Amino acid sequence: MDEHLVDATGTASNASLRSRIGLAAVVALGYGLGNGIRLELEGDYRNNRFSQGRDFGFPAAAGGNEVKYGPMVNALYDLTGLIPFPYAAPYVGLGVGYQWAHFDNVHAYNGVSGFPRFSSDDTRGALAYQAIIGAVVPFQILPQLATTIEYRFLD
């Protein structure tokens, strides 16, 4: 998704930076309550490269990386208690925590003339929330092992 820019007064603008799909890593430790609800603590790391500027009022080029990281507390609900799924164990969840966002040489400029130009190497932190939907898929050959497929929306 695009990263919308915010000015020094906290007002969002229409201008945004488009990012590419990047590296994400999540490490979590949790406990299942036995009724389909799981609670977990997680640490996460995300790294995305910016590829272009949008709605700047001129054709904008952009670059640099945004790194996000921080702790989250999640509550997940296993849907297998509601509907039996033969090959997967789907779940949904919500999380709340704190995330830092670090701009590493983030810049945008007019792709034709090179002016105006802005750049940032700033780090800011804020409260964060996330919505999670996913599924655990066990391997048929080794039922003790499984893979997790999930989508997270982090704000």
The 10s digit of each residue's pLDDT in 70-108 is 999 999 999 987 777 888 889 999 999 999 999 888 888
Give the span between the Cα atoms of 3 and 14, in whole angstroms: 10
pLDDT of residue 131 exceeding 70: yes
Give the span between the Cα atoms of 57 and 33, in whole angstroms: 53
Counting Cα atoms < 13 Å in the Cβ hemisphere of 58 gives: 13
* pTM beyond 0.75, yes or no: yes
Give the span between the Cα atoms of 136 and 115, in whole angstroms: 49
Tally Cβ neighbours within 10 Å of residue 41: 15
Give the span between the Cα atoms of 48 and 65, in whole angstroms: 6
Provide the pairing of β-strand 123-138 with 146-154: antiparallel
Q: Which two tokens stand for residue 43?
A: 């640490």
The 10s digit of each residue's pLDDT in 15-64 is 788 888 889 999 999 999 988 899 999 999 999 998 888 887 777 888 89
**Sequence ranges of the domains in the chain:** 3-154
Residues forming a β-bridge with 24: 46
Q: What is the DSSP letter of 79?
A: G
Phi-psi group of 49: left, alpha or beta (phi > 0 → left; psi -120 to 50 → alpha; rest → beta): beta
DSSP class per residue in 80-138: GGTS--SS-EEEEEEEEEEEEEEEEEEEEEETTT--SEEEE--EEEEEEEEEEEEEEEE
